[in-house]
């Protein structure tokens, strides 16, 4: 199957309110161009250097999403162009993103990554850490970042009930955001995104309330 037909099949399976991030990590620019020519404008990468190289080579009307774990010392390389950073999991990282956004005279949109899986290897905040972060004085001082919502990754398992439980957990944390004291109404206006669901579990993620799916192998083939 071609990238174009894969893309069309995936798109046809998504409700209108769900945004597709085409995850192009490890794939050559020629593959991305095929998706671009089929109309795709949002691409997800998990390494800053690779994303920057692709950004340099590709048309400039693409929105680049950083979906991987971000090291603070590399934020500066993507700060001029990144459209959304999915995996933000600390105040320290937010402060660095804010600093680099300011240097580039822009506001950078972020999702806070929540730890929902039963795997040691996955990153993210727990519910208490999230509340602490959002109500901290330091957070309120960050004027060049905007929190659009939450991101999570389910456990890599065949157990659909387990995955469903984890996605439902993320949705409930998302829904509780509006109850956090001190987290300003202004900031809340932007919170509308739940990034959850990959090739293997995006249908389930959408049933559980996902508004943004990150799909790689179903579009570009295995890695």
* Site residues, ligand PLP (CB under 6 A): 23, 25, 46, 67-68, 153, 198-200, 214-218
The minimum distance between CB 162 and ligand PLP, in angstroms, equals 17
Q: Compute the least distance from the CB of residue 23 to ligand PLP, in Å.
A: 4
Our CB check for ligand PLP shows the closer of 68 and 149 to be: 68
Look at strands 193-195 and 42-45 and give their pairing. unpaired
Name which of 75 and 215 has its Cβ closer to ligand PLP.
215
Alpha-carbon distance 156 to 168, whole Å?
16
Query: Which H/E stretch holds residue 63?
Result: strand 63-66
Distance CA 127, CA 173 (A): 7
Taking every pair of Cα atoms in the chain, the longest distance, rounded to a whole number of angstroms, is: 52
C-alpha–C-alpha distance, residues 205 and 167, integer Å:
6
Pairing, β 108-114 against β 84-88: parallel
- If the CB atoms of residues 200 and 209 are measured against ligand PLP, the closer one turns out to be 200
Kindly state the smallest distance separating residue 113's Cβ from ligand PLP, in Å: 9
**Residue 83 Cβ vs ligand PLP, minimum distance, rounded to whole Å:** 16
The residue nearest ligand PLP at its CB is 216
Of 100 and 210, nearer to ligand PLP (C-beta) is 210
Q: Minimum CB separation from ligand PLP for residue 182, in Å?
A: 30
* Least spacing, CB of residue 205 vs ligand PLP, in Å: 11
From the CB of 16, what's the least distance to ligand PLP, in Å?
21
Residue 93 DSSP class: H
CB neighbourhood size of 14 (10 A): 17
Closer residue to ligand PLP, CB minimum distance, 72 or 199:
199
- Identify which of residues 10 and 145 has a Cβ nearer to ligand PLP in the complex: 10
Which C-beta is closer to ligand PLP: that of 121 or that of 189? 121
E-strand ranges in 103-163 read 108-114, 145-152
Three-state secondary-structure class, residue 189: coil
Q: Which of 38-68 are b and which e, b meaning 16 or more Cβ less than 10 Å from the residue's Cβ? A: bebebbbbbebeebbebbeebeeebebbbbb
């Amino acid at each position: 199957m071609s990238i174009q037909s894969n893309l069309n099949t995936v798109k046809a399976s998504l409700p209108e309110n769900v945004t597709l991030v085409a995850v192009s990590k490890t794939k050559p620019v020629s593959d991305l161009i095929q998706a671009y020519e089929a109309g795709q404008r949002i691409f997800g990468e998990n390494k800053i250097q690779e994303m920057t190289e692709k950004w340099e080579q590709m048309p400039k009307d693409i929105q680049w999403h950083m979906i991987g774990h971000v090291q603070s010392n590399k934020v500066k390389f993507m700060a001029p162009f990144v459209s959304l950073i999915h995996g933000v999991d600390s105040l320290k990282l937010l402060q660095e993103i804010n600093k680099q956004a300011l240097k580039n005279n822009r506001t950078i949109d972020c999702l806070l990554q929540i730890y929902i899986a039963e795997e040691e290897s996955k990153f993210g905040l727990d519910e208490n850490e999230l509340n602490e972060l959002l109500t901290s004085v330091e957070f309120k001082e960050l004027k060049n970042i905007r929190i659009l919502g939450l991101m999570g990754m389910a456990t890599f398992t065949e157990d659909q009930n387990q995955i469903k439980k984890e996605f439902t957990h993320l949705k409930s944390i998302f829904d509780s955001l509006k109850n956090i004291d001190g987290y300003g109404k202004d900031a809340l206006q932007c919170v509308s995104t739940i990034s959850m669901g990959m090739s293997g579990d995006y249908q389930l993620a959408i049933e559980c309330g996902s508004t943004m799916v990150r799909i790689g192998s179903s579009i570009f083939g295995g890695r």
